[in-house]
């Protein structure tokens, strides 16, 4: 079986066990982490606005954390893929939370998290209902957070129906990032997704409901664009319902100034209690999602690192820490200490430059080979742009495509945690093998012989030889070894075993 060659004697030291600190841009030049090489004033201004937002910048998600506060349970539409739950701890999807919070409780929790999670840069209201429909609670929460932590970013996620009524207030509160879920621009398609809406104290159903929702969503997007607020559009890919239609959605949002388009797969299980889950609507396969994303690429910047977070998610994307901050474990009076956040950002500034340089070098090397071959590489990472997570602890894997175009993050795969103390590990690995369909190589900081052998039998080559290397550096070395005749050498020394 193929195994990368290991060379002892490395060129860079390994970081600490947790997510390494992160990249600024050398010489004041911002990176291409949102799809552009930042070479002019407009690009530089955009970079300044997104560089610390993990959902609006691919690069930022390696270093910065977000926190969703579940203060907005009320909702004004019904989606066939949604079933809101307020006491759910075991489902990982939008619309669920372990507990509803009042604005005062949310503020107390934010202060506790900010004191212990220096990576925290964004506070968002993403439900479990709709932030614009449950507006008073959203506003009260943001006012409290802005008063106590004035430098933190505030953002909302909304279905867009009530959005036009609050755009001016959003701008007045300096909310610079808004996400709208838009799944259709044709009411006939929309009627298959939305059974009803509540608007103007009336309940609408069918095509009429979808038409009103569509018009309000487009109006809200146009108003946000006029106010200079960066808008990300989320679209749920539903096979046989709107999968081909999302090309048209992409065109509409591009023409109305959307900053980013995030196409996510339908999550549909009978246990979720959604209409689609109970009626057997299938979810898209990973290759179907990637094909659609590739089709849309080049119009609006695509987000490919979305985790489809819960309404109470806390931490780096893919490393949810919500259970560490149960409300009953937080003191009634929290003293916020900003020093850890300030120190972390200084370290991030340094590491970001190193990581960007490594990424540029790796991409240059891959492109210079001129190979027509491709590789699909899955990576276990806790953040920092490094291979720094044990395979047995991973709950999701980032997926990179490598070709003559370079090294590109193209998505992620949800997996079940393998190391369970010997209980259920075979079944868990079976699930992971299915999730790794189409993957050539798996990289992690450590992997046992048993899962490595099982993966090899399915055609997935697993290696922990590049523990704590930058992701692109390791992938570039592997690609060169595979198609360029150069040995693959790690550049970072991980912890001794």
59-72: average pLDDT: 84
User: Sorting pLDDT into bands at 50, 70 and 90, what band is 18?
Assistant: very low
104-113, 390-399, 411-420, range with the lowest pLDDT:
411-420
Taking the alpha carbons of 309, 315, 319, 322 in that order, is the dihedral positive or negative? Answer: negative
Domains in the chain with CATH codes: 65-315 (3.20.20.70), 351-483 (3.30.420.130)
Confidence check: pLDDT of 150 > 80: yes
Contacts 24+ apart (CB under 8 A), 166-171: 166/132, 166/135, 167/220, 167/223, 167/224, 167/227, 167/229, 168/227, 169/139, 170/224, 170/227, 170/229, 171/227, 171/228, 171/229
Whether 180 and 220 have beta carbons less than 8 Å apart is answered as: yes
* 84/463: higher pLDDT: 463
pTM tops 0.85: no
154-163, 416-425, 435-444, range with the lowest pLDDT:
416-425
User: Sorting pLDDT into bands at 50, 70 and 90, what band is 324?
Assistant: confident
Residue 212, pLDDT score: 98
Unique residue bearing structure tokens 């190391």:
419
Residue 41, pLDDT score: 58
Confidence check: pLDDT of 93 > 80: no
In angstroms, the CA 49 to CA 322 distance is: 26
141-163: average pLDDT: 94
Confidence check: pLDDT of 494 > 70: no
Residue 284, pLDDT score: 92
For residue 378, report the phi and psi dihedrals to the nearest 5 degrees.
Answer: -100, 140
Contacts 24+ apart (CB under 8 A), 412-419: 412/304, 412/305, 412/307, 412/318, 413/286, 413/378, 413/439, 414/92, 417/392, 417/393, 418/391, 418/392, 418/393, 418/394, 418/451, 419/390, 419/392, 419/393
Locate all alpha helices (DSSP H) within 274-338, ordered by sequence: 275-279, 286-296
Residue 492, pLDDT score: 61
Confidence check: pLDDT of 79 > 50: yes
Query: What digits encode the pLDDT tens for the residues 232-262?
Result: 999 999 999 999 999 999 999 999 999 989 9
Q: What is the mean pLDDT of the chain?
A: 83
- Residue 403 in 3-state DSSP? strand
Confidence check: pLDDT of 315 > 70: yes
Residue 312, pLDDT score: 77
257-273: average pLDDT: 89
In angstroms, the CA 25 to CA 23 distance is: 6
Burial of 367 (0-12, 13-18, 19+ CB in 10 A): middle
């Amino acid at each position: 079986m193929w195994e990368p060659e290991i060379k002892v004697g490395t060129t860079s030291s390994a970081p600490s066990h947790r997510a390494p600190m992160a990249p600024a841009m050398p010489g004041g030049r911002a990176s291409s982490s949102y799809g552009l090489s930042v070479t002019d004033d407009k690009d530089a201004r955009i970079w300044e606005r997104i560089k610390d937002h993990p959902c609006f910048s691919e690069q930022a998600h390696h270093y910065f954390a977000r926190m969703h506060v579940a203060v907005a349970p009320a909702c004004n539409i019904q989606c066939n893929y949604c079933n809101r739950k307020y006491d759910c701890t075991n489902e990982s999807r939008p619309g669920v939370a372990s507990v509803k919070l009042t604005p005062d409780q949310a503020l107390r929790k934010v202060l506790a998290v900010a004191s212990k999670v220096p990576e925290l840069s964004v506070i968002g209201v993403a439900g479990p209902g709709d932030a614009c429909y449950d507006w008073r609670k959203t506003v009260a929460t943001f006012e409290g957070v802005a008063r106590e932590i004035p430098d933190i970013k505030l953002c909302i996620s909304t279905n867009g129906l009530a959005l036009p009524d609050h755009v001016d207030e959003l701008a007045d509160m300096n909310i610079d990032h808004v996400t709208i879920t838009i799944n259709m621009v044709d009411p006939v398609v929309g009627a298959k997704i939305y059974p009803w809406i509540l608007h103007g104290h009336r309940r609408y159903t069918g095509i009429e409901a979808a038409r009103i929702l569509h018009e309000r969503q487009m109006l809200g997007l146009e108003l946000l664009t006029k106010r200079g607020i960066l808008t990300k559009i989320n679209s749920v890919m539903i096979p046989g319902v709107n999968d081909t239609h999302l090309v048209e959605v992409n065109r509409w949002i591009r023409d109305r100034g959307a900053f980013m388009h995030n196409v996510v797969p339908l999550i549909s299980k009978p246990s979720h209690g959604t209409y689609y889950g109970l009626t057997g609507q299938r979810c898209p396969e990973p290759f179907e999602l990637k094909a659609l994303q590739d089709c849309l690429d080049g119009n609006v910047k695509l987000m490919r690192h979305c985790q489809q977070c819960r309404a109470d998610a806390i931490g780096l994307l893919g490393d949810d820490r919500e259970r560490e901050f149960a409300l009953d474990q937080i003191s009634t009076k929290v003293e916020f200490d900003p020093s850890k956040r300030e120190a972390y950002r200084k370290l991030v500034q340094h590491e970001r430059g190193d990581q960007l340089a490594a990424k540029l070098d790796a991409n240059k090397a891959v492109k210079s080979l001129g190979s027509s071959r491709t590789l699909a590489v899955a990576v276990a990472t806790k953040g920092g742009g490094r291979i720094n997570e044990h395979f047995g602890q991973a709950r999701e894997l980032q997926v990179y495509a490598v070709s003559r175009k370079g090294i590109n993050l193209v998505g992620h795969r949800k997996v079940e945690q393998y190391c369970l103390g010997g209980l259920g590990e075979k079944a868990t690995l079976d699930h992971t093998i299915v999730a790794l369909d189409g993957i050539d190589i798996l990289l992690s900081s450590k992997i046992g012989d048993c899962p490595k052998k099982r993966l090899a039998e399915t055609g997935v080559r697993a290696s922990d030889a590049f523990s704590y290397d930058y992701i692109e550096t390791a992938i570039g070395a592997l690609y060169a070894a595979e198609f360029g005749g150069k040995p693959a050498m790690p550049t970072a020394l991980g912890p001794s075993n």
